[in-house]
Structure 1
Amino acid sequence: METGIWRTPKSWPDVEEKESQSATIYMKRHSATPLILTSFTYFDIRKDAVRNQIRAWCYADDVSPSHFRIHADTWADNLLYTAKVGWIAIPGGHTGILGGTCLVAPHEPDQDKKWNGIRIPFQEVFSRTPKIFICLNYIDIGRSWSIETFTENVTTSSFDAVFTSRNPNVDVWSAGATWIAYEDDLDSVEGGSIYSGYWTGSKAQSWEGTVRNIAQ
């Protein structure tokens, strides 16, 4: 597998509303077309849109064994000043690991702030229940900004992707995620999460630690 991070090339004074920024990413040549998955690692977006709404989407297309096109888009009256997009290339035919994207787009803010019915089927059935990594790649929320994605009801053939806000003042218009499912004994793959359960105002938070060496 191969990974990287791409940053949008424009300086913030030059960006425009409803703009798509993109670039061609060159990889080590794969024997077959890989699966490319993307997620935001950072974005800086204008906050004074109508309904205080923020909209951002990252994705890849035009994928070949040697390169692909990566995008960071916004639309309507938003300005995406800067974005960083992380990407991973999963080789075609790799066993024990699957991936994809999912999107919920009701176009009306949900009153319960949670959707549980987004059932995602795997492309093939695992021999036992896999672990799942999930992260946001599409955001369209308003009024206040708070959104979370996680998984529930994981089986060998499918799982529920949940998009929710714990803040009752948030309008979640639509949201999407990138996901990777993998067998829990797959060599050289390990996952986890970091959560900040408190608010520190303008103070930045950071974490540090070690990752167990799982290279074979």
Structure 2
Amino acid sequence: MVHLDTPGPDTGIFTTEEVRPRSKPCKSTSRIVSLPRNHYKEPPNLAAGFRSLDLSCEAPVRANLVADKITTDAFRITLETWGERSILYSASATWIEHKAYAKDCLFGQFDTHDLPANNGASKKGAQQENSRHFTFPQAFKDDCDVVCWLNRIDMASGDRNYRIRAYATNITRTGFTAHIDTWGDSLLFGGAMCWIAFPKRKRYVQFGSFQTGDVRSWSNPIPETTSQVKFDDGAFKSHRPAPTVLCALNMIDMAGNADLRVSVDVNDVDTQGFRWSLKTFEDSTLYAAGASWIALGFA
């Protein structure tokens, strides 16, 4: 384990390379993040997802993201793997926070290990489709939507492709159904995602998702796929500087004959929109990937 006590800034992004180089992988990499001084009277709620992953294919590809030890002033964020042979070269995370007991934004977590069908299940018995219905603690007054970010994966490597997707269906003002699925020959031992529910017309907030399929076909894999997102007209027109865009992965579809290397990046953010890219590198093949984003403007 490598841990950095020196607090990092609350930018919404953490990468293991802030603490150690990629060439020195370890099972757990963490650091302390400072929260804005005197901003929270109680420890805030946090939701976090993978922004990038670089995992060895020599064993099951395993990664987990944890935000804990949350106080009014700071928290610890950790990116980790487990097992004797699994190797995490590097990874990065995105997080979002809000005040405890906020009613206009709700966070939660869905883990396939919490499902009765998976309790004590062997790897041989892993399921391809996993879902759970969530009822909100209080109903939204208006229509809402749900953002999903992957934050734990445990999949077979070797000849099996890496395929995982986190998404929401049946969204109403009172709840929704969360899903973590795989398909084809992929073997998903387990996975987890955070979910973030917003009113669709929340002021100074925009959110959505994108994927490589918006630009190219699955059968035409390339190392980097990029395009643009345009905000709704006037959503951030009066804001200076531009809004903050937080983005994390919600889908991966890669060849299993090489290391799992995938990342999402956001650039050129202004009051009109931003440019995104989903990419891999070296000998990894990225058939498809997707991510969800949240743009936050402040009056």
TM-score (normalised: structure 1): 0.87
| Residue in 2 that maps onto 1:190 | 206
- Report if aligned partners of 2:55, 2:90 keep a CA contact under 8 Å in 1: yes
Aligned to 1:120: 134
Q: Which runs of 5+ in 1 are unaligned?
A: none
Q: Secondary structure at the match of 2:139?
A: coil
Contact map agreement 1:109 1:172 (CA 8 A) in 2 = no
Residue 35 of structure 1 corresponds to 45
SS in 1 for 2:163: coil
Residues 177-208 of structure 1 show CA distances to partners (whole Å, capped at 9, x for unaligned) of 01111112221111111022223334311123
Out of 142, 155, 160, which is 1:141 matched to?
155
Identity %: 23
- Between the aligned partners of 1:92 and 1:139, the Cα distance in structure 2 is 28
Distance 1:70 1:144, change over 3 A: same
Task: Tell me the matched-pair count.
Answer: 208
* Aligned position for 1:132: 146
Does structure 2 conserve the Cα–Cα contact (< 8 Å) formed by 1:3 and 1:89? no
Amino acid at match of 1:114: E
Give the letter aligned to residue 58 of structure 1: L
Q: 1:89 aligns with which of 91, 97, 115?
A: 97
Give yes or no for contact 2:126–2:190 (8 Å, CA) kept in 1: no
> How big is each residue's C-alpha offset from its partner over 1:61-91, in whole Å with a ceiling of 9 and x where there is no partner?
0001111000101011211101111111112
Q: What's the counterpart of residue 65 of structure 2?
A: 58
Whether 1:103 aligns to 2:111 is yes
TM-superposed deviation, 1:209:
4.0
| Greater shift in the superposed pair: 35-44 or 153-162 | 153-162
Write the distance in 1 (CA, Å) between the matches of 2:124 and 2:212.
Answer: 26
Among candidates 72, 75, 99, match of residue 68 of structure 1: 75
> What amino acid does structure 2 have at the position aligned with 1:63?
I
Asked if residue 170 in structure 1 is aligned to residue 178 in structure 2, the reply is no
> Whole-Å Cα distance in 2 between the matches of residues 3 and 120 of structure 1?
29
- Residue deviations 1:45-73 (CA, integer Å, cap 9, x gap): 11111xxx211111200001111000101
2-structure distance, mates of 1:185, 1:210: 16
CA distance in structure 2 between the aligned counterparts of 1:80 and 1:112, rounded to whole angstroms? 24
CA RMSD, 1 decimal? 2.0
Structure 2 unaligned runs (5+)?
A: 1-9, 237-296
Offset of residue 159 of structure 1: 1.5
TM-score by length of 2: 0.64
Q: Which runs of at least 4 in structure 1 moved beyond 6 Å after TM superposition?
A: none
Alpha-carbon offset, residue 120 of structure 1:
2.0
